[in-house]
């Protein structure tokens, strides 16, 4: 994934830039960077944050860098921001998104004339560098940004730092958010709107899909009007969004409460069947509280996430190590587990490995029953629009593995549609197979229609591709 933050201030922007960027640390675990422009021109710092938090790595940079315009990012993949010199002049650029047609675009640029790209480890081209190259195909930055939005198959939201100000552009279909904050003598732009609240900013507005603006210390000017169509990622509310975030005016925490309430209403589990409701820390907690409030079954915390040495979501790239770290973070409270019938809510089931191990961990700690309620539907399709996962295949998804097992091999899109429909026998067979494989007492997923209802947004404005395959 990744997060973006930018500041245009009449004074030095480093304090706001540093903490505003740091507040996006939940969105990425690999790289981070800041770039500023001031009296001495451009300056930039990029660091690896895999083993240390942003604040530790960038503390010295914050004290040494100076500027009144700045952009920062948390990146889960490529090093950025990049400083680029082109016919537009010198600018710094940072992006969030995914480019599915990178090879085709690269070849187009090569065919148009002499050009080159710096390869990253593994031979990939930095997506942010490629986005800059696309923008540089046009005579001005605004046309270049719009060209990139149209050309890229996937998504791209962009911040571009120039001596004149910060250009900010939300993805063409608004798959990721960008909001504007304002305080005396400064404006900011942020992926997460909570990132600027403790810095004294108040929310001005959110950018619309495809909208392009320029921020200066004096204000925000729209350069390209927003489009009418939107497909914001629903999974932002389910998992990636921080509890204090809001997207399209909807609080993440409120949406998760509502989601849990709707699950409880459909589930009809009460104290005669379960003793407590619990959430997998952290993203399952709010839905569990909502479920508990609606069902009347007490909420409890049978395990606690250990955070003193894991202040951020450090995760190795090797899956076996990821599973081990995830397990090590959870410390059991045996008095709340032993002999209990637990209903456990997690944000989702992706591969199934971690939740299966968590369930086994609860049984070993004395749990009598473990009923699992994921807060979103079965994930049937790998995301085509954002870098949520580096799964090499959709067969990494437990739902897809189970479907192929039940069907005896690869299936058509029509068959997958049946498995996505909770009213079909195939859907029930899939759930039962997953339940048996992961040793749950019972398993029921949140339904997509209930999840959409919890957002309060029209279905056509939400991306639900990972659950139902709808483009």
Q: Which of the listed CATH numbers 3.30.565.10, 3.60.20.10, 3.40.190.10, 3.30.1370.100 matches domain 2-230? A: 3.60.20.10
CATH topology of domain 251-468: Rossmann fold (3.40.50)
- Distance of CA 376 to CAs 347, 350, 419, 453, 469, Å? 7, 11, 15, 12, 14
What mean pLDDT do residues 26-50 have?
94
HEC-encoded secondary structure of 139-186: CCHHHHHHHHHHHCCEEEEEEEEECCEEEEECCCCCCCCCEEEEECCE
Reply yes or no on whether the pLDDT at 317 is more than 80.
Answer: no
Per the structure block, which two tokens stand in for 411? 């299936």
- Distance of CA 243 to CAs 223, 300, 353, Å? 32, 19, 25
Reply yes or no on whether the pLDDT at 54 is more than 50.
Answer: yes
The per-residue pLDDT for 313 is 45
Reply yes or no on whether the pLDDT at 221 is more than 80.
Answer: yes
Reply yes or no on whether the pLDDT at 320 is more than 80.
Answer: no
Residues contacting residue 154 through CB under 8 Å, at least 6 positions apart: 97, 98, 99, 100, 101, 384, 385, 386
The mean pLDDT of the chain is: 93
pLDDT tens sequence across 98-142: 999 999 999 999 888 767 787 776 778 899 999 999 999 999 999
Which has the minimum average pLDDT: 196-200, 385-389, 423-427, 441-445?
A: 385-389
CATH 3.60.20.10 domain locations along the chain = 2-230
The per-residue pLDDT for 361 is 87
Which has the minimum average pLDDT: 328-342, 414-428, 456-470?
A: 328-342
Distance from C-alpha of 20 to C-alpha of 226, rounded to nearest angstrom = 25
The per-residue pLDDT for 303 is 86
Distance from C-alpha of 171 to C-alpha of 153, rounded to nearest angstrom = 11
Note every long-range contact of 400-406, with CB atoms under 8 Å and residues 24 or more positions apart, other chains counting. Answer: 402/430, 402/433, 402/434, 402/437, 403/430, 405/433, 406/430, 406/433
Go through the chain and tell me how many residues it has: 471
Rg of the chain in Å (alpha carbons): 23
pLDDT tens sequence across 247-295: 999 999 999 999 999 999 999 999 999 999 999 988 899 999 999 999 9
Task: Identify the CA nearest to 7 among candidates 165, 223, 175.
Answer: 165
Furthest C-alpha separation in the chain: 73
Task: Identify the CA nearest to 163 among candidates 39, 21, 17, 12.
Answer: 39
CATH 3.40.50.2020 domain locations along the chain = 251-468
Reply yes or no on whether the pLDDT at 318 is more than 70.
Answer: no
Question: Greater confidence, 19 or 124?
Answer: 19
Distance from C-alpha of 374 to C-alpha of 360, rounded to nearest angstrom = 17
SS3 state of residue 133: helix
């Amino acid at each position: 994934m990744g997060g973006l933050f930018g500041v245009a201030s009449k004074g030095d922007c480093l304090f706001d830039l540093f903490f505003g960027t740091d507040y996006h640390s939940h969105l990425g675990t690999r790289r981070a960077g800041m770039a500023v422009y001031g009296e001495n021109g451009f300056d930039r710092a990029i660091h690896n944050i895999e083993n240390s938090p942003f604040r530790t790595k960038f503390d010295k940079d914050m004290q040494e860098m100076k500027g009144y315009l700045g952009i920062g990012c948390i990146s889960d993949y490529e090093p950025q921001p990049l400083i680029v010199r082109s016919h537009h002049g010198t600018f710094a650029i940072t992006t969030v998104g995914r480019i599915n047609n990178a090879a085709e675009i690269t070849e187009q640029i090569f065919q148009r004339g002499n050009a080159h790209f710096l390869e990253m480890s593994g031979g990939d081209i930095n997506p942010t560098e490629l986005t800059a190259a696309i923008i540089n195909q046009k005579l001005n930055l605004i046309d270049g940004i719009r060209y990139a939005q149209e050309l890229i198959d996937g998504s791209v939201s962009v911040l571009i730092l120039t001596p004149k100000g910060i250009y900010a552009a939300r993805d063409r279909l608004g798959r990721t958010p960008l909001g504007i904050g304002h305080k005396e003598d400064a404006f900011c732009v942020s992926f997460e709107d909570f990132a600027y609240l403790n810095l004294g900013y108040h929310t001005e507005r959110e950018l619309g899909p495809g909208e392009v603006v320029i921020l200066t210390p004096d204000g925000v000017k729209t350069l390209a009007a927003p489009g009418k169509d939107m497909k914001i990622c629903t999974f932002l509310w389910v998992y990636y969004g921080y509890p204090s975030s809001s997207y399209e005016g909807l609080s993440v925490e409120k949406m998760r409460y509502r989601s849990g309430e709707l699950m409880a209403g459909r589930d009809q589990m009460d104290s005669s069947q379960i003793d407590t409701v619990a959430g997998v820390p952290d993203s399952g907690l709010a839905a569990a509280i909502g479920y508990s409030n609606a069902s009347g079954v007490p909420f409890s915390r049978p395990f606690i996430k250990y955070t003193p040495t894991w202040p951020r979501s450090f995760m190795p790239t090797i899956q076996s190590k990821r599973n081990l770290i995830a397990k090590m973070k959870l410390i059991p409270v045996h008095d709340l587990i032993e002999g209990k019938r637990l209903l456990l809510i997690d944000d989702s089931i992706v591969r199934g490995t971690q939740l299966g191990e968590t369930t086994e961990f609860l049984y070993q700690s004395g749990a009598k029953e473990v009923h699992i309620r994921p807060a979103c539907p079965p994930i049937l399709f790998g995301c085509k629009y954002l870098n949520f996962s580096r799964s090499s295949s959709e067969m990494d998804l437990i739902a897809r593995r189970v479907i192929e097992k039940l069907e005896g091999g690869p299936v058509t899109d029509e068959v997958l549609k049946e498995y996505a429909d909770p009213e079909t026998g195939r859907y029930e067979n899939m759930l039962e197979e997953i339940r048996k494989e992961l040793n749950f007492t019972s398993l029921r997923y949140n339904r997509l229609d209930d999840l959409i209802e919890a957002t309060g947004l029209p279905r056509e404005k939400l991306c639900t591709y990972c659950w139902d395959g709808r483009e």
